[in-house]
Amino acid sequence: MSFSKNVKATDVAKEMEEKIIEIRRVAKVTRGGKTMSFRVVAVVGNKNGKVGVGIGNAREVPQAIRKAIQDAKKNVKEVPIKNGTIPHEVIGRHDSSDVILIPAGPGTGVIASTPVRAVVELCGATNILTKSLGSTTVLNLAKATMNGLEQLKSPLMIAQLRDITVKQIFSGAHKEA
């Protein structure tokens, strides 16, 4: 039973907020010269536990943006957010980028780099500490953050896996004799 289930793009298309985090000009070298195109990295989320990251490539920027947003809506995942933060500490990895996500108390705010901030804010976390390690490529950091968020489990889910109550998770799982 996985909490980070896929959600259909048609269900969430109306309520999602979009954010473009990178527009990059890329070139393919051919025999006749260079073919220029644009790569766009976009994040979509409803600020209530659903977020997705997408990539779009096209010869023109508006088409690349449209493709990236469409791809992000296809890759929307559900994330457990409680009281504006994540339930537990987690490390997300993608290629050579590592992102440590740490829950924070109220009033802390989002302490993160630009790509990590975009993903975390659109998933609905308002108080979170992060640390980026390794490569600082925008795409790798965004995907590492998504990887970390997908690993999160809610206290209810952990209780069901361990066959105990949610109260026992926080106070200690001692069996009565």
Mean pLDDT for the stretch of residues 108-122 = 95
CA–CA gap between residue 93 and residue 74 (Å, rounded) = 21
DSSP string, 82-108: BTTB-SS-EEEEETTEEEEEEE--TT-
High-pLDDT (> 90) share of the chain, %: 76
9 pLDDT more than 60? no
Q: What is the pLDDT of residue 131?
A: 96
| Banded model confidence at residue 1, pLDDT cuts 50, 70, 90 | very low
- Per-residue pLDDT of 31-45, as tens digits, reads 999 999 999 999 999
5 pLDDT more than 60? no
CA–CA gap between residue 174 and residue 161 (Å, rounded) = 16
CB within 8 Å of 128: residues ≥ 6 apart: 85, 86, 101, 102, 103, 104, 108, 110, 111, 112, 120
19 pLDDT more than 90? yes
pTM for the predicted model, two decimal places: 0.86
Q: What is the pLDDT of residue 167?
A: 86
Q: What is the pLDDT of residue 168?
A: 85
3 pLDDT more than 60? no
- Per-residue pLDDT of 70-83, as tens digits, reads 999 999 999 999 89
For the record, the structure tokens of 66 come out as 């449209």
